[in-house]
């Protein structure tokens, strides 16, 4: 047996008494361990408070949503405030610039036309545009002028004859007066001889008295005949003067037609179109050409048939040309409807803008109605969503549908007749997606 002591069989205390056991190396398995930090109390409190607020907000929103019909994002809605403002009902219409005057010139008589201009030529008022050669009209004018000269001669002869007649009547009156004076003398002599001197018999006395009566009658008839002849001459002269005036009117009318054979421009502008070829035969009142007046312009727009009854003459209009507005008024409304449109003519209230061109496109706003100082709100698609019978009033984070009644609907504002008050904020954007909801929750 070996003399080395068997330590493994000794009690532990004896082994420790005999000496420490050999140390084992653990460097190969050692790892550094970070030291743990203790959470600060205030951070724990803040986290708990935030969690409580979140639970409260979520709980409150859940509680509110539980009593609402739907939700909507504020970012997708447009809000406006109800207030006092002017509501103007206007109608936008497309139109074009037209010449206010574009007369068509006609042939005054049958003949052959010779044009002096071409289509597109610029002309001034009074310029010769065409000449119509009409021999028949010229011959008729000469005949009527001859008739006029004949009637002038008839009138002159009638005047001379009336003067001659008046002179003869005057002579007859004077002779009758002389005979009357002689008869009066004979009567006085016969009466003196018969009454005082008794030198003549009664038969001679009666004869002298009869001669005096005849002389008085002839003198009276001569004066009356002279007066009647003067009146007759006056009537005959008046009739001849009227005939002469009537003949003069005929001559003047024919002269006007002959002068009208030289067709002249009634306005300053441009020749629009020629109706016929050069040296064409024409009949009376046949169109020859048109002239466009470039100094006066009007605007012609087309409006829907549904607005035709609301448009009246002298309604104010804003005519937009480019980026500028010009005031105008309605001057004419077409009586017929073409393709569900009614043509309306406008004119500029003041000076027309410079550099206008015929057929230039533009827009016009016709003011149908103006309601100043009424309860109104900005116009939006909510008017069409429920036909203007309701609106959502915003109160904080909720919107509540209320019945409303709207009046005039303008391009920018809508009149509120009933259901809202000044200061209310409503949703003016399209609310057709919420047509079955009465209350909404507005989310950010």
Digit-coded pLDDT (tens) for 37-83: 545 666 767 777 777 667 655 545 544 544 567 788 888 888 899 99
DSSP element (H, E) containing 173: helix 135-192
Beta 104-106 vs 324-333: how paired, if at all?
unpaired
Distance CA 187, CA 29 (A): 198
Q: What is the DSSP string of 198-229?
A: --S-HHHHHHHHHHHHHHHHHHHHHHHHHHHH
- For residue 317, the cross-strand partners are 328, 366
- Where does the pLDDT of residue 18 fall: very low under 50, low under 70, confident under 90, or very high at 90 and above? very low
Per cent of the chain over pLDDT 90 is 15
Instruction: Inform me whether the pLDDT recorded for 349 exceeds 80.
Output: yes
Contacts for 331-340: CB closer than 8 Å, 24+ residues apart: 331/298, 333/308, 337/305, 337/308, 340/304, 340/305
Task: Please determine, for residue 250, whether its predicted confidence score (pLDDT) is greater than 80.
Answer: yes
- Whole-angstrom distance, CA of residue 326 vs CA of residue 320: 6
Check if the beta carbon of residue 427 is closer than 8 Å to that of residue 391: yes
Q: Are 266 and 272 in contact (CB under 8 A)?
A: no
Question: Which tokens sit at 314?
Answer: 């002298």
- Between the two ends of the chain, the Cα-to-Cα distance in Å is 96
Q: How does residue 1 score in pLDDT terms, banded at 50, 70 and 90?
A: very low
Chain-centroid distance of CA 155 in Å reads 57
Q: Counting Cβ atoms within 10 Å, is residue 346 exposed (0-12), middle (13-18) or buried (19+)? A: buried
SS3 of 358, please?
coil
SS3 287: strand
Q: Which domains does the chain have, with CATH numbers?
A: 70-90+371-443 (2.40.420), 93-99+293-368 (2.40.30.170), 104-134+262-291 (2.40.50.100), 135-260 (1.10.287)
- Kind of pairing, strands 398-403 and 287-293? unpaired
Confidence of residue 115 (pLDDT cuts 50, 70, 90): very high
pLDDT for 76: 87
pLDDT of residue 53: 66
Confidence at residue 15, expressed as pLDDT on a 0 to 100 scale:
40
Q: How far is it, in rounded angstroms, from Cα 222 to Cα 214?
A: 12
- pTM to 2 decimal places: 0.47
Give the mean pLDDT of 288-292. Answer: 91
Are 276 and 288 contacting, i.e. CB atoms less than 8 angstroms apart?
Answer: yes
Strand partners, 343: 302
The pLDDT assigned to 59 comes to 46
Would you state the pLDDT for residue 127?
Answer: 92
Average pLDDT over residues 172-198: 81
Q: What percent of the chain has pLDDT over 70?
A: 86
Quick one: pLDDT at residue 132? 93
Q: Would you state the torsion angle of the CA atoms of residues 28, 30, 31, 35, taken in this order, to the nearest 10 degrees? A: -170
Query: Does the pLDDT at position 154 exceed 70?
Result: yes
Split at pLDDT 50, 70, 90, the class of 171 is: confident
User: Which stretch of 39-48, 314-323, 365-374, 433-442 has the lowest confidence by average pLDDT?
Assistant: 39-48
The SS3 call for residue 25 is: coil
* pLDDT reported for residue 33: 52
Residue pLDDT, tens place only, 209-246: 888 888 888 888 888 888 888 888 888 888 888 999 99
3-state SS, one letter per residue, for 47-115? HHHHHHHHHHHHHHHHHHHHHCCEEEEHHHCCEEECEEEEEEEEEEEEEEEEECCCCEEECCCCEEEEE
Q: In the structure, what pLDDT confidence band is assigned to residue 257 with cuts at 50, 70 and 90?
A: confident
β-strand pairing of 413-418 with 361-378: antiparallel
Retrieve residue 138's tokens.
Answer: 């010229």
Confirm if 56 and 337 have CB atoms less than 8 A apart. no
Residue 9 has pLDDT above 90, yes or no: no
Averaged pLDDT of the chain: 82
């Amino acid at each position: 047996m070996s003399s080395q002591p068997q330590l493994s069989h000794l009690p532990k205390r004896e082994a420790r008494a005999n000496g420490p056991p050999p140390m084992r190396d653990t460097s190969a398995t050692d790892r550094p361990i970070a030291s743990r930090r203790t959470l600060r109390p205030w951070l724990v409190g803040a986290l708990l408070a935030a969690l409580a607020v979140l639970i409260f907000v979520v709980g409150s929103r859940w509680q509110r949503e539980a009593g609402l019909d739907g939700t909507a994002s504020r970012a997708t809605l447009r809000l406006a405030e109800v207030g006092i403002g002017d509501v103007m009902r206007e109608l936008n219409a497309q139109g074009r610039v037209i010449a206010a005057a574009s007369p068509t010139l006609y042939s005054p008589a049958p003949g052959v036309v010779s044009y002096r201009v071409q289509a597109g030529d610029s002309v001034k008022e009074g310029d010769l545009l065409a000449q119509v050669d009409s021999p028949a009209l010229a011959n008729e004018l000469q005949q009527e002028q001859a008739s006029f000269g004949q009637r002038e001669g008839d009138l002159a002869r009638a005047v001379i004859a009336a003067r001659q007649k008046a002179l003869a009547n005057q002579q007859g009156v004077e002779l009758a007066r002389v005979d009357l004076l002689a008869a009066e003398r004979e009567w006085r002599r016969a009466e003196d001889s018969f009454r005082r001197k008794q030198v003549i018999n009664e038969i001679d006395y009666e004869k002298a008295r009869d001669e005096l009566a005849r002389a008085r009658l002839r003198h009276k008839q001569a004066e009356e005949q002279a007066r009647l002849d003067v009146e007759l001459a006056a009537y005959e002269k008046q009739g001849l003067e009227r005939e002469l005036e009537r003949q003069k009117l005929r001559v003047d009318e024919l002269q006007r037609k002959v002068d009208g054979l030289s067709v002249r421009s009634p306005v300053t502008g441009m020749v629009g179109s020629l109706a016929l070829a050069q040296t064409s035969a024409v009949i009376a009142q046949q169109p020859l050409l048109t002239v466009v007046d470039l100094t006066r312009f009007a605007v012609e727009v087309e409006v829907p048939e549904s607005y035709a009854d609301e448009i009246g003459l002298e309604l104010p209009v804003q005519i937009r040309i480019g980026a500028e507005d010009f005031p105008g008024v309605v001057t004419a409304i077409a009586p017929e409807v073409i393709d569900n449109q009614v043509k309306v003519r406008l004119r500029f209230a003041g000076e027309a803008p410079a550099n206008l061109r015929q057929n230039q496109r533009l827009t016009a706003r016709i003011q149908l109605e103006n309601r100043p100082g009424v309860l109104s709100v900005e116009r939006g698609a909510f008017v069409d969503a429920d036909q203007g019978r309701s609106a959502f009033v915003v109160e904080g984070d909720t919107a509540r549908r209320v019945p409303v009644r709207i009046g005039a609907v303008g391009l920018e504002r809508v009149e509120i007749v009933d259901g809202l008050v000044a200061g209310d904020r409503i949703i003016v954007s399209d609310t057709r997606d919420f047509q079955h909801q009465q209350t909404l929750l507005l989310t950010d």
